[in-house]
Amino acid sequence: MTTLDPKTMADWQIAEAAEAKMKSIGQLTEDLGILPEEVIPMGRQLAKIDYNKVLDRLGGRPTAKYIDVTAITPTPLGEGKSTTAVGLIDGLGQLGKKVTGALRQPSSGPTFNIKGSAAGGGLSQCIPLAPFSIRFTGDIDSITNAHNLCMVALTARMQHERNYDDERLAKSKLKRLDIDPDRIHMKWVIDFCAQSLRNITIGQGGKMDGYHMDTGFAITVSSELMAILSVARDLKDLRERIGKMVVAHSRSGKEITTADLEVDGAMTAWMLDTINPSLVQTIEGNPVFIHAGPFANIAIGQSSIIADRLATKLGDYHVTESGFGADIGFEKFWNLKCRMSGITPDAVVIVATIRALKMHGGGPTVKPGKPLDEAYTQENLALVENGCGNLIAHIETVKKAGVTPVVCVNGFYTDTQAEVDLVKKVAQENGALAAYSQHWLKGGEGAIELAETVVKACEEPEDFHFLYDLNDSLKTKVEKIATEVYGASGVDFSTEAQKRLSELEQDPDLKGFGVCMVKTHLSLSHDPDMKNRPKNFRLPIRGFLVYKGAGFIVPLAGDIKLMPGTASNPAFRHIDVDVDSGKVTGLF
């Protein structure tokens, strides 16, 4: 890989050069110990894996060491968490370990907007880059269609119930559900950052043109269907969970589910192929399963339980990924995913960059598309030290789970040795192991120190335990997350949220549900402008969503929206196709 230079080559150029030497799917699966009949080809470069056949065959095999990758509170540019996860996979490979990974599928929202693909970067990325970043094996498209089919069923039923009397409804073999148009809990979805679709009106025209109502769009990865895919254990579980989704309430207060709309079976049919994880590889030929989606700020944001169950039977070390900082990504991994999967981590990597620590330490504002201030490219120990409060908060969060944290200083070539040494010193003084990694620049070779440190962490004794008990009240669960993870002094529920909280706490069907918070990823608080480690703030909760299919309750904190917006200088301006070769250019 010495001929590939991230300093002079774009990610897509590196990927294109590496793809010329990538393993075939047959070689990749053979090396992994997957049989030909367990492979579902998806063209020449990609495949899905029949997880059920593999688990039936290998169910008794010992489970691999399990490592989660999370991060400190990032800048709006992101701090290279996926890049670090891939670098760690390749670093473990460099040590001769049989290693697997599980990452989340890129959403078209960030791919064509600011952050770019979630394939990693530099010499630490997954290939083939273009199909991985665009369309892939169709999972997100299937979720989009299944979700919107549900909305079609809902709005069509509302139209027919308005237009038909009881006799005509009966002839159509429909039961009157008496749906309350003011208590619709779902919107439509699309996998782009389309702020103009957040609030729309549909059904304009005559009585045959649908039901006139206010609605809108969320981004696909925030759909409850994506959450269900993340936590389902098998097809039977997926089917049952889809049937439990609450779409609306009737005027009398009865829940209206997908099963009531008789659309749950068809939705499952759309989702059928999504149940099997997809397989790609790193530049260095290590296997990575791709399953479920990103956005831990507005969704669960985890690679799937199925992918982890599969991968932990195929290797000695398995690296998975949680979205954004440990306050939201790891917290949901800890209290939702691990609880549902029964698999607990042996180590947790917290990705930190000198850049982000300087921002938290009072550095100039970091804005996508704008040049970085020289404060971020020149040594400034004071800014780094001031910003380490944010790092310490995330270390303490991981330690509360009873797991050994490993702070990975994700290396930029502008970092100085004194800055790196300072971060490692702070990490170690606060009970974490620490390593510097140059995987972006050097691939797996640059991640050997990180890999060795993670191997060491996996041998440390652990006392894994959850933050809250499932029998705690909903209010208690929210307050524990707010105070013990975010550092809030308390929680303020709006009048509407307080009313809904009382309703939810009286619902016996919700006993034992976990909490999946919707909160900004740009701060430990609800306010993206509050950097470092905010003190003396109260977390405002404006409402709740109920994901009965996924099995958790979703409090809405602050003003965050379920549909992001596209920026003024989005990535799609630079993406094109070489018409001679047919290859996609400009991805990052």
Q: What is the chain's length?
A: 588
412 labelled catalytic = yes
**Contact, 320 vs 342, CB < 8 A?**
no
83 labelled catalytic = yes
Mean pLDDT computed over every residue of the chain: 95
Q: Please state, in angstroms and rounded to a whole number, the distance separating the CA atoms of residues 318 and 435.
A: 19
Residue 345 CA, chain-centre distance (Å), reads 17
**Contact, 304 vs 198, CB < 8 A?**
no
440 labelled catalytic = yes
How many other C-beta atoms lie within 10 A of the C-beta of residue 257?
18
SS3 content of the chain, % helix, strand, coil (to 5): 40, 20, 40
Could you tell me the pTM of the whole model? 0.95
The catalytically annotated residue of 192, 324, 330, 333 is 324
Backbone phi and psi for residue 272, each to the nearest 5 degrees, phi listed first: -55, -50
Q: What is the pLDDT of residues 27-59, one digit of tens each?
A: 999 999 999 999 999 988 899 999 999 999 998
The catalytically annotated residue of 63, 377, 412, 476 is 412
Q: Please state, in angstroms and rounded to a whole number, the distance separating the CA atoms of residues 105 and 585.
A: 20
270 labelled catalytic = no
Residue 66 has pLDDT above 80, yes or no: yes
Q: Please state, in angstroms and rounded to a whole number, the distance separating the CA atoms of residues 12 and 128.
A: 10
Which tokens is 355 given? 């850049």
Burial class (CB in 10 A: 0-12, 13-18, 19+), 506: exposed
Element (H, E) at 448: helix 448-458
Q: What is the pLDDT of residues 424-434, one digit of tens each?
A: 999 999 999 99
**List of residues 6+ apart from 267 with CB closer than 8 A:** 146, 147, 149, 150, 225, 242, 258
Residue 215 has pLDDT above 80, yes or no: yes
Q: In order of start, what are the domains of the chain with their CATH numbers?
A: 11-138+274-458 (3.40.50.300), 140-271 (3.30.1510.10), 476-557 (3.10.410.10)
107-111, 143-147, 307-311, 514-518: range with lowest mean pLDDT: 107-111
**List of residues 6+ apart from 532 with CB closer than 8 A:** 360, 361, 362, 386, 387, 389, 390
How many other C-beta atoms lie within 10 A of the C-beta of residue 581?
9
Residue 61 has pLDDT above 50, yes or no: yes
- The two beta strands, 179-184 and 246-250, are antiparallel
Q: Please state, in angstroms and rounded to a whole number, the distance separating the CA atoms of residues 199 and 222.
A: 16
Residues of the chain with pLDDT > 70, as a percent, come to 100
- From the list 585, 587, 21, the residue with the least C-alpha distance to 282 is 21
Annotate 343-380 with DSSP letters as a single string: ---SEEEEEE-HHHHHHHTTPPPP-TTSPPPGGGTS--
pLDDT score of 530: 96
Amino acid present at 134: I
Of residues 12 and 398, more confidence is placed in: 398
Map residue 418 onto helix, strand or coil.
Answer: helix
Q: What is the pLDDT of residues 517-533, one digit of tens each?
A: 999 999 999 999 999 99
Task: Tell me how many degrees the CA angle 369-355-114 measures, rounded to the nearest 5.
Answer: 25
**Contact, 79 vs 86, CB < 8 A?**
no
Q: What is the pLDDT of residues 219-235, one digit of tens each?
A: 999 999 999 999 999 99
The catalytically annotated residue of 12, 29, 70, 81 is 81
The catalytically annotated residue of 83, 268, 274, 453 is 83
The catalytically annotated residue of 104, 309, 358, 480 is 104
Q: With bands split at pLDDT 50, 70 and 90, how would you rate the model's confidence at 561?
A: confident
Element (H, E) at 474: helix 474-480
- Token pair 């550095």 is found at 363
Q: Tell me the C-alpha to C-alpha distance, in Å, between residue 288 and each of 249, 277, 307.
A: 41, 10, 9
**Contact, 141 vs 135, CB < 8 A?**
yes
pLDDT score of 78: 87
Backbone phi and psi for residue 391, each to the nearest 5 degrees, phi listed first: -60, -45
Buried b (16+ CB within 10 A) or exposed e, 134-165: eebbebbbbbbbbbbbbbbbbbebbbebeeee
Q: Please state, in angstroms and rounded to a whole number, the distance separating the CA atoms of residues 54 and 137.
A: 20
Residue 331 CA, chain-centre distance (Å), reads 12
The catalytically annotated residue of 65, 115, 313, 332 is 115
108-117, 147-156, 402-411: range with lowest mean pLDDT: 108-117
Which tokens is 75 given? 């800048």
Which tokens is 471 given? 């029998």
The catalytically annotated residue of 18, 296, 347, 434 is 296
Map residue 257 onto helix, strand or coil.
Answer: strand
- With left for phi above 0 and alpha for psi between -120 and 50, is residue 286 left, alpha or beta? beta
**Contact, 233 vs 150, CB < 8 A?**
no
Half-sphere exposure of 83 (CA within 13 A, CB side): 30
**List of residues 6+ apart from 334 with CB closer than 8 A:** 401, 466, 467
Q: Please state, in angstroms and rounded to a whole number, the distance separating the CA atoms of residues 491 and 128.
A: 45
How many other C-beta atoms lie within 10 A of the C-beta of residue 518?
25
pLDDT score of 49: 98
- Token pair 């370990």 is found at 97
| Mean pLDDT in residue range 313-327 | 95
Residue 1 has pLDDT above 50, yes or no: no
324 labelled catalytic = yes
Which tokens is 334 given? 């800890």
Q: Please state, in angstroms and rounded to a whole number, the distance separating the CA atoms of residues 194 and 182.
A: 24
Q: Please state, in angstroms and rounded to a whole number, the distance separating the CA atoms of residues 510 and 477.
A: 13
Q: What is the pLDDT of residues 331-359, one digit of tens each?
A: 999 999 999 999 999 999 999 999 999 99
Q: Please state, in angstroms and rounded to a whole number, the distance separating the CA atoms of residues 304 and 318.
A: 13
